[in-house]
Amino acid sequence: MKRLMIAAGAALLAACAAGAQETESWYPSQYGADDRLGAVNELSAEKTAEAAKLITTGKTYSLGMVTGRDTPAYGPREYDVTVLQLSDGSGTPLGANKATGNDDIVDVWVGIGSQIDGLGHMGINHQYYNGVPVADFVTPAGLTQFGTHALPPIATRGVLLDMTKVVGAAPVPDGTAFNREEIDAAMEAAGVEIEAGDVVLFHTGYMAATADAEGLKQTEPGLGVEGAQYLADLGVVAVGADTWAVEVIPFEAADRPFDVHLTLLAKNGVYLLENMVTSELAADNVTEFFFSLGVPKLEGTVQAIINPVAIR
């Protein structure tokens, strides 16, 4: 019995050591222990100039959805707006030029609709990108580090991977994971190679298929953990999809929720673009394009509602 207890204790210590090693091995970042921007370090003036050469027709595509009161969202997130008018809207105009106007108040959870997840969004055991402890940057008044207001303009090459063509179904069935094999097949079908500094978007047909849903569907196709690490290793800046979580649900491992979020955000500093409108790009068979995003300068926010633009 004593020998069994010693063996069990040794096994427990080994497991704890392995777990500690797993936790510690994902930082410091390749961009340095003090870095707080992550994969946007892959952007450069040269990359932007090269991506601009992809503009041949000047056609633009809005990648952001309209966000409103009925937008399905991850609970308890919601949206509301109040329009303020002078008096009741028909009061006395101002001055000789009879000026009138409206103002508004938007009361919204930022993580609703088309959005970018910042590096302060999800971490591992209360440590975030580059191993920064939550106590070092989270306050009720906003983030003191990793705020999305600090992001530079993202103007770079965009790549669309149409997974409906790879899988042979539109929409791609819920629970379908995109890992290295599927990503390579999609690149081959699109005739593109993913490069450092790119933004990669997945088209699954999910958004169009759920357009009339009153609530947020709890399953979806999406990126798997191996695929997420593969894209991070290729040096992508951000990964997005026409789904609300980007990653596959049900999760590949039931006891590892949102593991793709952790792989991209915490471990690699790669941003997530959720609820991207990809249907028009896919319909036009666009596989690469100029991608442009200026993130709203709202100080200290974890996420941001966005409307990126694709130009071909």
Q: State pLDDT tens for residues 142-161.
A: 999 999 999 999 999 999 99
Q: State pLDDT tens for residues 34-47.
A: 999 999 999 999 99
Q: State pLDDT tens for residues 188-239.
A: 999 999 999 999 999 999 999 999 988 889 999 999 999 999 999 999 999 9
| Domains of the chain with bracketed CATH | 29-67+110-311 (3.50.30.50), 79-108 (no CATH)
Give whole-number Cα distances, 80 to 27, 77, 274, 287, in Å.
39, 11, 20, 36
Average pLDDT over residues 229-250: 98
Q: In the structure encoding, which two tokens stand for residue 132, read together? A: 């920064």
Q: What is the pLDDT of residue 69?
A: 93
Q: What is the pLDDT of residue 87?
A: 62
Query: What's the pTM value of the predicted model, to 2 decimals?
Result: 0.91
Q: State pLDDT tens for residues 13-29.
A: 333 433 444 445 899 99
Q: In the structure encoding, which two tokens stand for residue 270, read together? A: 């790669």
Q: Which residue blocks in 136-270 are alpha helix, DSSP H?
A: 163-167, 180-190, 206-209, 225-234, 259-261, 268
Distance CA 268, CA 234 (A): 11
Residue 311 near residue 282 (C-beta atoms within 8 A): no
Q: What is the pLDDT of residue 256?
A: 98
Q: State pLDDT tens for residues 261-305.
A: 999 999 999 999 999 999 999 999 999 999 999 999 999 999 999
